[in-house]
Structure 1
């Protein structure tokens, strides 16, 4: 499956999960998160910037916690 289509499918699934959050199971949420990690990772691998980012991944993870 093309990466773009996989990203579109993921976005639709995330939007659907947001609309039906009360009825989604923890396993379904976990699966969505796993798919997001894979798709976002592939997008980032494909789009490597010429210059390094100013923020490290550690800084970004700290903001998420």
Structure 2
């Protein structure tokens, strides 16, 4: 399944994320955006560090297609 089409199989994940921030949705979204930015940075570093032949021509992409 493509990520945008996947249904949330565990709605408790949302409740857990909100409860981690004492029910504050803005803090929850801010944390998720910060995590996303960090993971994009990590993906960019990994893409620069690995050789073209190592992954047989595959390169990580930051944006979804």
Larger gyration radius, structure 1 or structure 2: 2
| TM-score category of the 2 structures, normalised to the smaller one | 0.3 to 0.5
Is the helix fraction higher in 1 or 2? 1
Given the two structures, how large is their TM-score scaled by the length of structure 1?
A: 0.45
Given the two structures, how large is their TM-score scaled by the length of structure 2?
A: 0.45
- Structure showing greater relative contact order (alpha-carbon pairs closer than 8 Å, 6 or more residues apart): 1
